[in-house]
Structures are given as C-alpha cells and as structure tokens.
A and B are shown apart, each in its own frame.
Chain A
Amino acid sequence: MNMMLVARMAWRDVRSGEMALLLVALLVAVGTVTSISLFVDRLQSALLEESSNFLAADRQISSSQAIPEAFVQQAQQRGLNTAQTLVFPSMVFAGDLNQLVSVKAVDATYPLRGELIVGSEPFQRGAPTDTVPEPGTVWLDSRLFPAMNLGLGDTIEVGMAQLTVASVLIAEPDRGGSFFDLGPRLLMNMQDVEATEVVQPGSRLSYRLLLSGAEVELEGLREDLPLKPNFNWVSVRESSPRIGRALDRAESFLLLGGLLGVLLAGIAVGLSAHRYAQRHFDHVGVLKTLGATPTQILRGFMSLLLMVGLAAIGLGLLLGSLLHVAIVEILATLIAVELPLPTARPFLLGAATGLICALAFAMPAFIHLKNVEPMRVIRRDLGVAPLSRWLSYGAAAGGSLLLLVWYTKDFWLTLWTLVSIVSICVVFGVLAWALLKGGRVAGMQAKSGWRLALAGLQRRRAENTAQILIFGVAIMLLLVMVLIRTALIDFDRLGLDSMDLDPAVRRQLVTLLDNRGNPETVLQDLGSVFGEQPVFAELGRVCDQIGAAAAEQGVTIQLDPTFQPHFELYTGLVFQLVCDGIAAPVVIARGGRYDELVRRCGAAEHMGYGAGFSLAIDPIRELINDTNPKATQEADILVAFSTATRLETAMARQRSWHEQGRVAVMALEPLESKEMAQQLANEKGSVQLDWIDP
C-alpha cells in the first residue's frame, strides 16, 4: 500500500471514529507526561534559580584559606564567570562609637546571580544596582546608621583604613546564616582589604570563589580541581539540603505519579488497539481478497499507527502544554516565584512516551492483523489465530520496563517492580479464573437472569480473567501512588534504598534508622554496629547523669541517633522534650549545644561552651488546656507577701498550693500591709488571701 492510500485509510478511520479511542488513549499518555514534566521542569528551574540567588552564583568554592589563583584561571579557561568574596567579623569605629560588623569584601563582578539592592536612606525599599562599592567607599546595613550615628558621606574606620559611607545596603543575595555573618553587614571593595590590615594569620576569614556558567563546565571544573581537604564545593543541594531533598522528593513523586498515569494510559492504549484490530479483521480480510499482501497489510497498518501516534504526540504536546498552564494558574497562589521558560526535555519526554506507548502497547495488535486469513471473508466462522502472548505481553512489559527505567533511572528497582506486578498478576489471575469457574456451579442454581450472566462470563472465561486482571492492576497502581506519596513524605528509608550502597553499609544505616529508645540498649546496638567509639562512652555518661534527675521528675530519657532538628546553630548534642498530649505526643521544647558559636564569638577555648533551647509556647498552652480543666478557671487564692519576706518563700507557698490542686496566683511585688493585700484580693474577685509576713 502506498503512503497516500495509508493516509487516506487513516483519515477515513479517524473520520468514522474507529481510531478515536486509540487516539484519545495516546493523547492522554502524552498529555499527562508532558504537563507533569513541564510543570516539574519549570518549578525545578525556578527553585534552582532562586536557590542560586541565595549563593549569588551557580556554585561556590569556600575555604578559610585564600582561593588559589590557579582555581580562578581554570574556571575562566572553561568560560565560567567568576567573582570573589571575603567575609570576616571586625570592629568598626565612627567617632567615639564602635560596633561589631560582618565585613564582606567583594570584587567588581559580584554577584553572579541575584542582585544587590541599595538605597540612599536607611530602612527604605531601595533599588537594584549592578555595581559594587568603589575603592575607598563602603555600603552599610540600615541598622548601622542609627547605631553609629552615621549618614551618607561620613567616614568609618575599618581596621587601619578610613572609608567613606557611600550607600545604604538594603539586601544582598548570599546573605546566609553562617557563623561569620553575625552582626550587620558592611560591604566594601576587595581592593581596600589590604589597607585595613585586618587580614592576619589566625583571623577568622571565609574566602569564597563564586562561579556561574554551563552545567557541564561547572561539573568538569569540580572534577579537575584538587579541592579536598581545604576547599569545599558548594551547590544549592549541598548548601540547602532541605531544598535539595524537597526537590528530589517532588521530582520522584510527580514523575512516578506521571509514570503510573502512563502505565494506565498504556493499558488503555493496548485495549483500544486490541479493539481496533478486532473490528478490522473483516476489513483486512476484504483487503487481502482484493490483492493486499501480508507485507503490504503490515506496512500499511504500521504506517497508520505511526501516523496516529505522531498526530497524538503533536496534539498531546499541545494538550500537555495547555494543561500545565492550567496547573500553574491553579497553583499560582502557592508559587511565589516566577517560573522560567521550560527546557526541551519535557517535550522530548512526552513525545518519547507517546512513541513507546504506541510501539509497546498498540503495535502487537496491529502486527497481528497481517495474520488474518482472507478466507474469513466467505467463512465468518473461521476465527483468527490468537495474538502471540509472548509478543503481546512481552512488548508491553518491555515498553513498561523502558519507561520505568527512564523515569526512575534505576534498573533493578524497576525490574523488581515489574516482577512484583507479574507475580501479582499470576496469583490473582489464577484466583479470577477459579472464581469464574466457581461461578458455573453457582450459575446452575441461580435464577434465569443470573444464570445467563454467569454463563456469559463462563463462555469468555479467558477474556474476562484478563479484564479482571487489567482493572485489578489499574486499581493497584492507583493505590501504589497513594502509598508512594505517603512513603516519600514520611520515610528516609526510600532515599536510603535508592542510594548505591554496599549491602553491609546499607544494613548498618537501616539499623541506625530503626534504633531509638532506651539509651543503654541504643548505645549497645550502636557499639555492635560501629564498634567502641569515644562518642558513645560520652553519650553514655551524659545519659546516666540526666537519667537520674529525669527519673525523679518521672521523665523518660530516649536516645535517638537519627534525630535532626535541622538547625545549624547546634553543633553538639541536641534534644527535644516531648509531652504526652490527649491525641498524640507533643514537642514542647527543643535545644542543643552550640559551643562552636560561642567560640566563634570570641570566647576563650576553655570557656567556649554553650547550650540553649526554645520552648514551644502555643503547644504548651494547648496541652495545658487539654489536660488540666482548671487551667481556664479563675484563680481562687492570692499569695501576697510583705516587704520583709523573700520572693522565694512566696513562690514556694504558691507551688505548695499548686501541688494541692488549687489555682493560686501571686502578687507581683511585696506589699506593705495585710490590708493592702486584702484589698488586692477583693479586686481579683474575692479570692482567698494567703498573707506571708515573718
């Protein structure tokens, strides 16, 4: 069959609606993937772009040592843009006033991403600028102007240098929460650093080389440079692990969701192609009697499938684009950033998915058409040899495998997923078959309507079993989607499973993930996995000491090696206090050791210890309301004390009332006489007075 004839046949089939179902199924597959990947692609680009703004670059190399010139040269040879910054804390002076500031010295190309916002007056909105402070000038944080009684044009001393205040620095892109960044910012030109003479051996300095440019060149540079152990490579994912993890999880979930959508659409494509083929057995029989050879039939229908596939891909890409615009519109209020234009990848992904769907799910049915006997035209009772199951299911499994591997980028995970699905199909196929066979026995005793229905099911037992399986698998895929969503949100275990790890290491990490509870047991388990470690002995001592005090208060101590409050301030032991609420445990306080911070703030080595915590006021209040019905009651006792009484005595008395279950409040200051105390008690609504006077 020539292409014109095939095109006419395709058009005739589309026009008569024969091809509509297949076209729609393919359209759904392409549209789903395209819309999801377009949205993810744009969201990822936006998040990465925003995150790059936080770095003021695409990547950074950070160190407490000066960045070697060779690094800069290699970056520039690769066509990358570079900028350098140096951050250090310093005292600055203006007249008699002084202030600890965080100085950032930058070169002319800073920043590579994001923008500096400057103004002419403190605490105003300001405007973006593409310049940096001129040599001899500084830009100051708004807070410094009132604190140091400064105005524009005044002079400020930074170390040995006298610099002129030229602008108000409203915002800078890479203002992070680093320990070096404590205090208001002073931005100066890199050329002035030498004149300040503050950069001395032992100074706390943070050098950064900012890099931006093509992704491949950035990664190439990373491999070329001798970074370890003195230089850190910083990317968005490393600098903001939470953003990185969120991105990974969002991508995994949306793509897996999309993939399951495609598998469902694939099943629809397979079913509609099968239906199309069955409806064309006679058609092909007639074509064969008229002289069409099996090769011509095969070529013709494959070309037809290709045409429909291409049309579906074209329309699907369009539909996906429109759908993703709708998604963006619906989520507009939740997306604070402006989404950049998409890359070509989502379109490529959508087109390839459509092609693979057409080939894997629809092609076997189309290939089967060439086997139709021409004799069927005069002998309708002549069946068509069933489609080779190996070809049909093999192609569908192959296509699914290809799509899954492509989406998950993990062959073994994919293979096991498919093996599981096949196993489930076998088990439930046997069950469905048995159920239909059992229906025959039930049908014998049923009323006529049911008997007819059951006989119908029985007559086409193989097809009905296949349909039960297809719908069963489709429902299972939907449920798996829900489970995956929950799992991705709740557990790090999946992340662990997806990492390429030695099995022994993986076992150790799983043990670590599952290990929490009684400190003694946990430390024993940790010791058996990681061997004797000084940190375990230290933890044991801490737990012993706290344990005794906690036991007196009825508090249980649990040790959880996986607990991570995601608060970089803490650099030692971290803890949280959990209280049993009515519905669930409630975290009422969190804290930890921040020795490093104390040392960086200038404490002597032997004094550099710090610990702190924050109380969660709202949960505590809710907890009290939930568990103590008297908490909302009015006080019934006023504890008042004379000027001759110690505050501690009054507080002890109030505590004793509380222990008796009474609601007691205390006068805020000592009173001169009992009369005054009684008057206060009357003002509070005739509460009982407890007067303390030695």
Chain B
Amino acid sequence: MLRKRNEKDRMSRTVVSAESLEKIVQTSAGELVILDGIDLEINQGETVAVVGASGSGKTTLLGILAGLDTASAGAVKLLDANLTDLDEEARALVRGQHVGFVFQSFQLLASLTALENVMLPVELRGDTMAQSQAQALLEKVGLTDRLDHYPRQLSGGEQQRVAIARAFASNPTVLFADEPTGNLDTQTGELICQLLFDLNTEFGTTLVMVTHDLALAARCGRTISISGGRIVPSQSQEAAK
C-alpha cells in the first residue's frame, strides 16, 4: 500500500543540495555557461519553485538536481547519494527509488493505457502490487472510469492527472515538476495544480517545481530565482543581509 510520511519525518533533513554547481557546454561559438556556481539546499517536505526567464538555466538545474543530467563542476546530493560521483547506472537506481517526475508535455507512453502507464514505475521496481496501487492512485486523481484509455483518448488535463498519479506511484521522496501546467488552459491548470499540491501534502513529498508562472510559484513555500545561470537573491534575503 501507499506509504505516507508522518509529520515528524518532514522538515527534518536536507534531501537535495547543490554546491558550486556549474554546467558548461561546448558550442560552435565556444563555451556556453548555463549554470554558474549554484549553491542551494532543499529540506524534506519543502515546496520550492524555481523561476526565471527562458534560457536562464532553470530546466538544466532541475535535470541535474534530479540526476537526469551531469554537472560540469560542483557537487549535487540527493538524500545520501552524491550524484556527481555516480554513473548513469547508479543514478537511475536513485531516481527509481526516490524521485518522481511531472513534465510539461506529460510524457505518457502512447502504447500503454492510463493504468499501464501508472503501473510502470511500480513494475520497474519489481513490486507485485503494481496494479492495485495504480488503480488506487487513478481513483485519487478522479480517473476511475478511464483506466483502459490510451493517452490519445484523454484530454490534456486528464493526461496530466495520469502523469501525476504515475509520479506518486513509486512513492517518491522528491517530486520534480517541469512546468506542470504549461500545456494546459488556465482553468485546467488550476485544477491540476491543486491536485499536485494536495497529493504532495498527503504523501509528504518534497516538491521542486520549475515554472515561469509567478502565481503558481507563490503557492510554494520557497522560490529560487535564476538568471544567467546564477541564483538571484530574494528580497528577504537581501534585506537580511
């Protein structure tokens, strides 16, 4: 059955941290610095929004923090795992164990039904209760009558709800969301956003969300602004200085 973390576990330890994080890529015009010395810490149960203009490096930061990409320099820790020291094989195991994802373009597998999509992360972990867990989650997101529908038979909002159910199916410690409402109309985006926050609260997950929607960012406990590959200090932080 799905596990829910108790209040005591929450806000007790750092789950994601980055130190002097750099990402540099080679282009035909020379070196391009995407991230330039990022330092951050995100604690268990926090909801953090990463905001910034297009090309500021927020999506790259999300990829590196989630172990999808590698940094050129610096250190990244996800729970006890130092991601910078791990190869893709080990990073994949960490992702499977601790991380959930919600993407702007849903990223459901077209050849699988809604139920099969949600079952997938559980199946990958070798859990035998995949189907019952997936059914319970789809029930939570209000898609009980859509279990056998393929993604092409679902609306955008419904697809994102399946994606959210899939993200929580592996009972992750951290949930990374990349513009989760970016492809949805305002009303549907609002409903999806509410669902995401509700489930996050219910499961006690740490949420790291990349968005350029300031209203959505405002619903998070903390906002990290990125510009030119660096973290821009917030007004409160400036004031504290």
Across the interface, B59 reaches (CB within 8 A) one of A286, A291, A293, A378, namely A378
Q: Are A290 and B111 in contact (CB under 8 A)?
A: no
Hey, what's the 0/1 contact readout for B106-136 against A, CB within 8 Å counting as 1?
0101111000100011011110000000000
Segment at the interface with B among A10-18, A330-338, A580-588: A10-18
Tell yes or no: B39 within 8 A of A by CB. no
Q: Across the interface, name the chain A residue whose C-beta is closest to B166.
A: A290
Q: Are A375 and B63 in contact (CB under 8 A)?
A: yes
Q: Are B59 and A290 in contact (CB under 8 A)?
A: no
Tell yes or no: A292 within 8 A of B by CB. yes
Q: Across the interface, name the chain A residue whose C-beta is closest to B101.
A: A289
A-B contacts at CB below 8 angstroms, number: 86
Most buried by A among B89, B93, B124, B166: B124
Tell yes or no: A322 within 8 A of B by CB. no
Across the interface, B103 reaches (CB within 8 A) one of A12, A295, A373, A377, namely A377
Tell yes or no: A294 within 8 A of B by CB. yes
A residues near B95, Cβ cutoff 8 Å: 288-291, 374
The smallest beta-carbon distance between A275 and chain B, in angstroms, is: 15
CA A379 to CA B59, docked complex, whole Å? 8
Q: Are B109 and A286 in contact (CB under 8 A)?
A: yes
Q: Are A288 and B107 in contact (CB under 8 A)?
A: no
B residues near A2, Cβ cutoff 8 Å: 126
B residues near A291, Cβ cutoff 8 Å: 92-93, 95-97, 99, 121, 124-125, 170
Q: Are B178 and A292 in contact (CB under 8 A)?
A: no
CA A587 to CA B63, docked complex, whole Å? 85
A residues near B69, Cβ cutoff 8 Å: 373-375
Tell yes or no: B68 within 8 A of A by CB. yes
CA A375 to CA B65, docked complex, whole Å? 11
B residues near A285, Cβ cutoff 8 Å: 107
Tell yes or no: B198 within 8 A of A by CB. no
Across the interface, B123 reaches (CB within 8 A) one of A5, A289, A295, A378, namely A5
A residues near B178, Cβ cutoff 8 Å: 378
CA A489 to CA B80, docked complex, whole Å? 75
Q: Are A378 and B103 in contact (CB under 8 A)?
A: yes
Q: Are A295 and B89 in contact (CB under 8 A)?
A: yes
> Taking A375-B69, A377-B103 as contacts, is the C-beta distance between A292 and B124 under 8 angstroms?
yes
CA A283 to CA B99, docked complex, whole Å? 18
B residues near A375, Cβ cutoff 8 Å: 63, 68-69
Query: Which of the four size classes fits the interface of chain A?
Result: 20 to 34
Give the residues from 234 to 290 in chain A that come closer than 8 angstroms, CB to CB, to chain B. Answer: 282-283, 285-290
The smallest beta-carbon distance between A95 and chain B, in angstroms, is: 94
> Taking A378-B63, A379-B59 as contacts, is the C-beta distance between A13 and B68 under 8 angstroms?
no
Most buried by B among A288, A294, A373, A378: A378
Across the interface, B124 reaches (CB within 8 A) one of A5, A13, A377, A378, namely A5
Give the residues from 151 to 195 in chain A that come closer than 8 angstroms, CB to CB, to chain B. Answer: none
A residues near B89, Cβ cutoff 8 Å: 293-295
A residues near B66, Cβ cutoff 8 Å: 289
Tell yes or no: B62 within 8 A of A by CB. yes
Q: Across the interface, name the chain B residue whose C-beta is closest to A297.
A: B92
CA A13 to CA B103, docked complex, whole Å? 23
B residues near A379, Cβ cutoff 8 Å: 59, 63
A residues near B104, Cβ cutoff 8 Å: 378
Hey, what's the 0/1 contact readout for A586-597 against B, CB within 8 Å counting as 1?
000000000000
Give the residues from 1 to 60 in chain A that come closer than 8 angstroms, CB to CB, to chain B. Answer: 1-2, 5, 8, 12-13, 15-16, 18
Hey, what's the 0/1 contact readout for B167-193 against A, CB within 8 Å counting as 1?
000100000001000000000000000
Query: Which of the four size classes fits the interface of chain B?
Result: 20 to 34
CA A74 to CA B126, docked complex, whole Å? 65
> Taking A2-B126, A13-B111 as contacts, is the C-beta distance between A378 and B120 under 8 angstroms?
no
A residues near B109, Cβ cutoff 8 Å: 283, 286
The smallest beta-carbon distance between A8 and chain B, in angstroms, is: 8
Q: Are B96 and A292 in contact (CB under 8 A)?
A: yes
B residues near A293, Cβ cutoff 8 Å: 88-89, 92-93
B residues near A377, Cβ cutoff 8 Å: 68, 101, 103, 107
Hey, what's the 0/1 contact readout for B46-69 against A, CB within 8 Å counting as 1?
000000000000010011001011
CA A285 to CA B62, docked complex, whole Å? 16
B residues near A8, Cβ cutoff 8 Å: 116, 123
Q: Are B111 and A18 in contact (CB under 8 A)?
A: yes
Q: Are A290 and B116 in contact (CB under 8 A)?
A: no
CA A289 to CA B105, docked complex, whole Å? 14
Given contacts A282-B107, A283-B109, A290-B95, 10 further A-B contacts (CB under 8 A): A16-B110, A287-B124, A288-B68, A290-B96, A290-B120, A291-B124, A293-B89, A293-B92, A374-B69, A375-B63
CA A15 to CA B111, docked complex, whole Å? 8
Q: Are A16 and B111 in contact (CB under 8 A)?
A: yes
Binding site for A on B (CB under 8 A): 59, 62-63, 66, 68-69, 88-89, 92-93, 95-97, 99, 101, 103-105, 107, 109-112, 116, 120-121, 123-126, 166, 170, 178
The smallest beta-carbon distance between B103 and chain A, in angstroms, is: 6
Across the interface, B88 reaches (CB within 8 A) one of A12, A15, A287, A294, namely A294
Most buried by A among B92, B103, B107, B125: B92
| Nearest 5 interchain pairs by C-beta | A291-B96, A16-B111, A293-B92, A290-B121, A375-B69
Across the interface, A378 reaches (CB within 8 A) one of B62, B116, B125, namely B62
Q: Across the interface, name the chain B residue whose C-beta is closest to A378.
A: B178
CA A375 to CA B95, docked complex, whole Å? 12
Across the interface, A12 reaches (CB within 8 A) one of B59, B99, B116, namely B116
The smallest beta-carbon distance between B193 and chain A, in angstroms, is: 19
Q: Across the interface, name the chain A residue whose C-beta is closest to B67.
A: A374
B residues near A15, Cβ cutoff 8 Å: 111
Q: Across the interface, name the chain B residue whose C-beta is closest to A12.
A: B111
CA A373 to CA B91, docked complex, whole Å? 12
Hey, what's the 0/1 contact readout for A118-158 against B, CB within 8 Å counting as 1?
00000000000000000000000000000000000000000
Q: Across the interface, name the chain A residue whose C-beta is closest to B100.
A: A290
CA A374 to CA B66, docked complex, whole Å? 10
Q: Are B92 and A288 in contact (CB under 8 A)?
A: yes
A-B contact pairs, 8 of them (CB 8 A): A289-B101, A291-B93, A293-B92, A373-B68, A375-B63, A378-B62, A378-B68, A379-B59
Hey, what's the 0/1 contact readout for A373-393 against B, CB within 8 Å counting as 1?
111011110000000000000
A residues near B126, Cβ cutoff 8 Å: 2
CA A290 to CA B94, docked complex, whole Å? 10
Give the residues from 350 to 374 in chain A that come closer than 8 angstroms, CB to CB, to chain B. Answer: 373-374
CA A295 to CA B111, docked complex, whole Å? 22
CA A377 to CA B59, docked complex, whole Å? 11
B residues near A286, Cβ cutoff 8 Å: 107, 109
CA A296 to CA B89, docked complex, whole Å? 9
Q: Across the interface, name the chain B residue whose C-beta is closest to A285.
A: B107
Most buried by B among A8, A286, A294, A379: A286
Most buried by B among A283, A287, A289, A375: A289
The smallest beta-carbon distance between B16 and chain A, in angstroms, is: 16
Q: Across the interface, name the chain A residue whose C-beta is closest to B104.
A: A378
Q: Are A292 and B92 in contact (CB under 8 A)?
A: yes
CA A295 to CA B90, docked complex, whole Å? 11
Q: Across the interface, name the chain A residue whose C-beta is closest to B123.
A: A5
CA A1 to CA B121, docked complex, whole Å? 11
CA A61 to CA B89, docked complex, whole Å? 69
The smallest beta-carbon distance between B146 and chain A, in angstroms, is: 18
A residues near B88, Cβ cutoff 8 Å: 293-294, 374
CA A291 to CA B121, docked complex, whole Å? 7
CA A15 to CA B112, docked complex, whole Å? 10
CA A5 to CA B121, docked complex, whole Å? 11
CA A16 to CA B92, docked complex, whole Å? 27
Give the residues from 271 to 329 in chain A that come closer than 8 angstroms, CB to CB, to chain B. Answer: 282-283, 285-296
Across the interface, A289 reaches (CB within 8 A) one of B59, B68, B111, namely B68
A residues near B107, Cβ cutoff 8 Å: 282, 285-286, 289, 377
Q: Are A1 and B68 in contact (CB under 8 A)?
A: no
CA A374 to CA B67, docked complex, whole Å? 9
CA A13 to CA B178, docked complex, whole Å? 28
Q: Are B92 and A294 in contact (CB under 8 A)?
A: yes
CA A8 to CA B131, docked complex, whole Å? 13
